Amino acid sequence: MGHKPLREQVIVITGASSGIGLATARMAARRGARVVLAARSGDVLAGIAAEFGPRATFVAADVGRREDVQAIADHAVATFGGFDTWVNVAGLTVYGPLREIDPEDHERLIRTNLWGTVYGSLIAAEHLRRHGGAIINVGSIASDLAFPFQGLYATSKHAVKGFTDTLRMELKAEGAPVSVTLVKPASIDTPLPARARNYMDREPTLPPPIYPPQEVANAILRAAVHPQRDIFVGGGGKLFVMGKEFAPGAYDELAPAIIALQKRSEPPRNPEGALHAPRSAGRERGDPPVPVMRTSAYTRATLHPLATAGVAIGVAATAALILGGGRVTRRF
């Protein structure tokens, strides 16, 4: 299934006021698409939309409220006559042990990360069933991995994966002209840790390797034109997932190291974060304490069909070599 060229599309992006959402909006506009920006920070969105002129519009919305998500779709139809791609990016996280986190914080995170994706996908599907197009959900490698001290974030991303896979199957069963893609980034250099609700005694961060948000934006926009079922952003994340599948018990033993890698050396800066109220929006990048990768060669390769086959062959050959104890048998 192929879709319109990007320059002919209208793209709705939730969570567009910072991080991956903002990077995607800017990249889409530069490539000629018209964009509908949605987030809780209406004043920030107004400034971002002004960068793009008449090719952009915005809606202040809380994706945890179905009526707000419906208002995003209605605004896209009223302004541009509809939309071709809907991207669910909005997401938050909470750092800390599960037993210490207030149930209200748990509920707010699930409402944004899961219900925001569910509402956005179902409302988008109603429009796209008639017109065709793409639904792109941003999950995480946490869709496949557990992360101690980000337990409810991982829970929400596991649920997003299950929902996305089910929606894809149901749309296929009814013959709807709608592609459904799940994008699974590894650690990405965004303000997510700084905007998190933090119960730890240290400022939070993300475990390396860390990739730039433009790598995720590029994958999202590729899927808007050339759909793929799943896209991992960051070869390091893909290796983590493969390792966990191969040896889940060994992965469990990494819990102390994973917890340590999520803590910076300094005390918390803003432990309340933006979980319950929008704060510190307007930036694509964060300030991680380690260098950020320039690109992900793995991801860029998987975005092209011929290269994907080569990557699969390479991964299979490497796995065979490992499982074979390093022996290579040649047959003539």
Q: So which residues are the catalytic ones? A: 153
Residue 108 φ then ψ, to 5°: -65, -40
Residue 306 token pair: 């011929």
Evaluate the CA torsion angle 264, 191, 150, 168 in order and state its sign.
negative
The set of residues, in sequence order, having a beta carbon less than 8 Å from that of 274 and lying 6+ positions away, is 92, 195, 196, 280, 281
Q: Please state the three-class secondary structure of the chain as a single string.
A: CCCCCHHHCEEEEECCCCHHHHHHHHHHHHCCCEEEEEECCHHHHHHHHHHHHHHEEEEECCCCCHHHHHHHHHHHHHHHCCCCEEEECCCCCEECCHHHCCHHHHHHHHHHHHHHHHHHHHHHHHHHHHHCEEEEEECCHHHCCCCCCCHHHHHHHHHHHHHHHHHHHHHHHCCCCEEEEEEEECEECCCCCCCCEECCCCCECCCCCEECHHHHHHHHHHHHHCCCCEEEECHHHHHHHHHHHHCHHHHHCCHHHHHHHCECCCCCCCCCCCCCCCCCCCCCCCCCCCCCCCCCHHHHHHCCHHHHHHHHHHHHHHHHHHHCCCCCCCCC
Q: Which of 100, 150, 143, 113 is nearest to 258 (CA)?
A: 150
| 132 vs 140: CA distance, rounded Å | 26
Contact by Cβ (8 Å): 328, 248: no
